[in-house]
Amino acid sequence: MPAARDLNAFLDLPEVAVPHGESGPLKGLSLAVKDIFDVAGHVTGCGNPLRAAEAGPARRTASAVKMILDAGARFVGKTQTDELAFSLMGQNVHFPHPVNPRAPDRVTGGSSSGSAAAVAGGLADIAVGSDTGGSIRAPASFCGLFALRTTHGRIPLDGAMPLAPSLDTFGWFARDAQTYEAVAKVVLGGDRHRSPLTRPMRIEALDLLVAGPAEAAEHERLSHLVAGVTGAPQPVGPVRQGLDELYWCFRTIQAQEAWAMHGKWISSANRGLAPAVEERFRFGATVSRAEVLAEGVRRKAFRTALADLLGEDGFLILPTVPGPAPKSAGTPEDFASFRERALRLLCWSGLSGFPQVTLPLGSVAGAPFGISLLGPRDSDRALISLGATILDAAGQD
């Protein structure tokens, strides 16, 4: 097992005792927590040293994290995050970059970078993260992990730093479906969505967002593996809104909300933000009220159209991200290009608020490459169960 310092997954913080349940379904499992969630006695730094310096120790633990601790999981540390959770690569300029244990020359993905590295490297059994634009799904695909973007609003986010509240969701990583399901029972309870997911679908426009021929071939292979369990997916046409329209709808809403949450603090002094992170925040300051209202209408129409497409029993099969993790030594232009392509896939779950599970089934050029299932609102547990069945059939549970 690698040492914590070898992966740069954990923050170097003073040790503070964190109580956990003496019994429960998660007893014996270790828990790492992304540093946007409060853990009583620890400072929540949100990936920025000045933010950490201004914060005192949290008085209470975020309620979703506390549920996991109360179920018996043992806290082992707080993990790195991109600055203010506003990036997809996992390379925070203020800290040594986390190492991707499954592909050491490639990024872990962010913003839940340290959490993904900790679980992939065997330093924690469970690690808490968040997903606003893809910060659970992308690192999971990059690091070969099982993970879910939960239905928006289903798990409470008190005690967590908000980024874009209408998009923010609680999430976690695990190496296997059994551990993932154990956590799901604790934090999700039972599904409110009662219908079995029996109607797989594919949208060609989403499949074509993979990065190249090798990725396309692997996605096709993975789709056949999934179809071996679910049945052949029905090809369906895209919803009325185009991919670029949905991308800009997501970007506009996220940026405006992020600036509303953090703009005052960012503007009050030199916060030392990485240029790309600051640029994303300041884009939000340029968004007008009219644009927000217009994109809100577009978002509502998309959510309705996707709900109608899925119905009660349908789910989409799609690439999680365009390809394996970008190389760590890539240029800012490389990262920006990948991010923009990835967001065209990732924004479907974000804008709709519907859950999406990513499965660690594939690889390209020796690096992990996930495939996703996106289901109706509140079908979280059903997606996890279906994902576990698929992994078991593929011999990868």
Query: Which residues are catalytic, by number?
Result: 34, 111, 135
Instruction: Give the residue from 360, 357, 361 showing the smallest Cα distance to 386.
Output: 357
Q: Are 303 and 351 in contact (CB under 8 A)?
A: yes
The single residue listed with the structure tokens 């927000």 is 292
Q: Which residues of 52-89 are buried (b: 16+ CB within 10 A; e: fewer)?
A: beeeeebeebbbbbbbbbbbbbbbbbbbbbbbbbbbbb
Instruction: Give the residue from 366, 362, 355, 353 showing the smallest Cα distance to 391.
Output: 362
- Sequence-separated contacts (24+) of 207-215 with Cβ below 8 Å: 207/318, 207/319, 209/243, 209/319, 209/322, 209/341, 209/344, 209/345, 210/319, 210/322, 210/323, 211/322, 211/323, 211/338, 211/341, 212/323, 214/364, 214/365, 215/319, 215/322, 215/323, 215/324, 215/364, 215/369
Q: Residue 53 has which token pair?
A: 């310096």
- Segment holding 229, helix H or strand E: helix 213-230
The phi and psi torsions of 316 (rounded to 5 degrees) equal: -95, 140
Q: Are 197 and 189 in contact (CB under 8 A)?
A: no
Q: Alpha-carbon Rg of the chain, whole angstroms?
A: 19
Strand 169-174 to 199-203 pairing: unpaired
Sheet with 314-319, strands from edge to edge, namely 74-79, 30-34, 126-131, 169-174, 146-149, 356-364, 367-374, 314-319, 199-203, 234-236
